[in-house]
Amino acid sequence: MSVVTVLKQADIFYELTTTQLELIGSICEERHCQTGDIVFAENSVGDELYVIANGEVEIQVDPALVGGKPSGGPQTIATLRRGQSFGEVALVDEGNRSASARCAQHDTHLIVIPRDKLMLLCDTYPQLGYRLMRNLAADLAMKIRNTDLQVREQLYWTHDANKA
């Protein structure tokens, strides 16, 4: 499967033209990993965006890293599959990774997009940059809403358990 075909399947590249996808494809790298491989660690510096071509990736947070009680290690908060992207938070704000990403399936195939090259493309081709940033914003908003629901559910169950 070609890189452009994989990019077409990703929501963050919605409504990009074939030419725009080919431009992005020209800066991509491919990476294969195995079950348990760490793509990146929580709190590490991030400068790449990832799209899953094949396989699964778990997004994990470690409560101990934010002062929480040690709970036996990282907790999986999402499992991502083909066509889904991750790593966009650090891509947008150039901050440290807010979670870890771990390969959850044998022979996971990732498309890796370096931040500096992608930003150069966005600056050079403003229409591409506009569409990509709009799609990234929509993707991040959806992920924030999902996280908000998880937090509310957790608070509800914790509050309900304290009543008993």
**Which pLDDT score is estimated for 149?**
87
Q: Which range marks the domain in which residue 127 is found?
A: 3-163
**Which pLDDT score is estimated for 7?**
96
CA distances from 144 to 4, 7, 31 (A): 27, 23, 27
Kindly give the pairing relationship between strand 57-61 and strand 100-103: antiparallel
**Which pLDDT score is estimated for 83?**
93
Residue 154 predicted with pLDDT over 90: no
The CATH number that applies at residue 87 is: 2.60.120.10
pLDDT digits (tens, 9 = 90+) for 36-62: 999 999 999 999 999 999 999 999 998
What six digits make up the tokens of 101?
A: 């990403």
Confidence bin at 153 (pLDDT 50/70/90): confident
Number of alpha carbons in the 13 Å side-chain half-sphere of residue 156: 6
pTM, rounded to two decimals: 0.86
- Separation between Cα atoms, residue 156 and residue 39, nearest integer Å: 33
Among 31, 68, 34, which Cα is nearest to 52's? 31
Confidence bin at 159 (pLDDT 50/70/90): low
What six digits make up the tokens of 92?
A: 């947008």
**Which pLDDT score is estimated for 70?**
61
How many domains does the chain fold into?
1
